Amino acid sequence: RDINLIINLDDIEEVAHQVLSKIGWSYYRSTADTGSAFDSNITAFSRYWFRPRVLRPVREIDTSTTILGIPSSLPIFVSPAAMAKLGHPLGEINITRGAYACGIIQGISSNASCTVDEIADARQGQQPLIFQLYVNKDHKITEDTLRKIDQLGFKAIMLTVDAPVLGKRELDMKARGLPVIRGNNNSGGEGTALRAGVANSLGGYFDANLNWEDLAWIRSITKLPIVIKGVQCVEDVELALQYGCAGVLLSNHGGRQLDYAPASIDILYELRQRRPDILDEKKLEVYCDGGFRRGTDVLKALCLGATAVGLGRPFLFANGAYGEEGVIKVAEVIGEEIATSMRLLGVTKLSELKPEMVTRMA
Ligand code: FNR
């Protein structure tokens, strides 16, 4: 389909479904177990409605923000997701180029299908990248990775903590995908007949004993700010704060890990109820991801106090469907939705989005 006929992110997913290989589609689209966590990521937004303001001048608006002090043209970033080459031969590099073109930050997966050197080479100028870390059972390997990331000039570490083991990804398992492309990691996994699939071929090296005390070890290797990815309740936001993290990404991993894990907008809502001080005083930055497909989804999270929102599958699907152009299209489409909805809400900058502009239905 002509890219000019794309009007929303669901259209891109539809095209991706048509053009991706069975293995690629199944790996990207896969969810854990019954898919309930994934479904609720999408449906949760329908419980949150706006309380817009009118008769405010909104001709000029500004959608830009900063994430960990890094300027971003939109309050969105590319959530780190593995194996972009399953969609397009240039893999993550298309996303790097596209992210630069639209002024947003890309998270690079530990399981990216391009090497970190290739991705770093694809940067333009001072283009900021964030590295997503899965800690290896062999801590020496992780130490080497962290040093390398520092040396390549990445801006932050996003430590994924919702995957001590991999969730049961059924679509992926059914496709029986074999690991056809290897990038950053060659460690492989325990690909038993039952757990065959792309995910399983990637996740065998994770340290399932990783815990809060390991943050001190990571800090002894790198001074980069640490964002904890995969926080799913208020108590763990408080611990992240206590342990000096720069941010938390509220996430259920796109519904790919624990089934019936909450949608990030619901975790954020609970945080807003119980610890508004953390959000209002920005004691750390709070981000969300999982199921964000519309400008209004993003604005709801910002009203409740999130700094920015990550998108995972939309960028993978777009890369698969249209390469770099598709990546840019995702930002254009959601950026335009954000701009329109800001005007309709009566705000001209993101800092004007307030909790009282959103209400939650039972
Ligand atoms: C992911 N995600 C992910 N997260 C992570 O920390 N490391 C990783 O390697 C991956 N890999 C990965 C692969 C694929 C195919 C998907 C779909 C997701 C999770 C990702 O960062 C993010 O949390 C979700 O994708 C957000 O949900 P949406 O936007 O895909 O609905």
Closest residue to atom 16 of ligand 1, CA basis: 81
**Amino acid at residue number 343:** R
User: Does the pLDDT of residue 176 top 90, yes or no?
Assistant: no
pLDDT digits (tens, 9 = 90+) for 246-298: 999 999 999 999 999 999 999 999 999 999 999 999 999 999 999 999 999 99
User: Does the pLDDT of residue 161 top 80, yes or no?
Assistant: yes
User: Is 139 annotated as catalytic?
Assistant: no
| Pocket perturbation via mutation, ligand 1, pick of 21, 104, 109 by most ligand atoms within 8 A of CB | 109
Taking residues 118-123, what's their average pLDDT? Answer: 98
Determine the length of the chain: 362
Count the Cβ atoms, other than its own, within 10 Å of residue 80.
26
Q: Which of 17, 88, 139, 253 is catalytic?
A: 253
Closest residue to atom 23 of ligand 1, CA basis: 253
Atom of ligand 1 nearest to the CA of 255: 27
pLDDT band at residue 184 under the 50/70/90 scheme: low
Taking residues 308-327, what's their average pLDDT? Answer: 98
Residue partners of 45: CB distance under 8 A and separation at least 6? 265, 291, 294, 296, 297, 300
In DSSP notation, 203-248 reads -TTB-TT--TTHHHHHHHH--S-EEEEEE-SHHHHHHHHHTT-SEE
Whether 29 lines ligand 1, by a CB cut-off of 6 Å, is no
Q: What is the pLDDT of residue 203?
A: 79
Whether 203 lines ligand 1, by a CB cut-off of 6 Å, is no
Taking residues 309-322, what's their average pLDDT? Answer: 98
User: Does the pLDDT of residue 124 top 60, yes or no?
Assistant: yes
Phi, psi of 358 (to 5 degrees): -130, 140
User: Does the pLDDT of residue 192 top 50, yes or no?
Assistant: no
Atom of ligand 1 nearest to the CA of 311: 29
Lowest mean pLDDT among 19-33, 71-85, 115-129, 194-208: 194-208
C-alpha 158 – ligand 1 centre gap (Å): 12
Mean pLDDT of the chain: 94
User: Does the pLDDT of residue 31 top 50, yes or no?
Assistant: yes
Residue partners of 276: CB distance under 8 A and separation at least 6? 305, 355
Q: What is the pLDDT of residue 196?
A: 62
| Pocket perturbation via mutation, ligand 1, pick of 133, 313, 316, 317 by most ligand atoms within 8 A of CB | 313
Phi, psi of 106 (to 5 degrees): -105, 130
Displacement of CA 144 from its chain's centroid (Å): 24
Whether 272 lines ligand 1, by a CB cut-off of 6 Å, is no
Q: What is the pLDDT of residue 186?
A: 43
Whether 13 lines ligand 1, by a CB cut-off of 6 Å, is no
Helix (H) or strand (E) holding 132: strand 129-133
Listed residue (204, 187, 184) closest to 195, CA to CA? 204
User: Does the pLDDT of residue 4 top 50, yes or no?
Assistant: yes
Displacement of CA 316 from its chain's centroid (Å): 11
Phi, psi of 354 (to 5 degrees): -130, 155
CA distance 327 to 275: 35
In this structure, the dihedral spanned by the alpha carbons of residues 157, 160, 189 and 182, taken in order and rounded to 10 degrees, is: -40
C-alpha 132 – ligand 1 centre gap (Å): 10
Lowest mean pLDDT among 18-27, 88-97, 103-112, 187-196: 187-196
User: Does the pLDDT of residue 313 top 50, yes or no?
Assistant: yes
pLDDT band at residue 185 under the 50/70/90 scheme: low
Listed residue (295, 298, 289, 302) closest to 357, CA to CA? 302
Whether 197 lines ligand 1, by a CB cut-off of 6 Å, is no
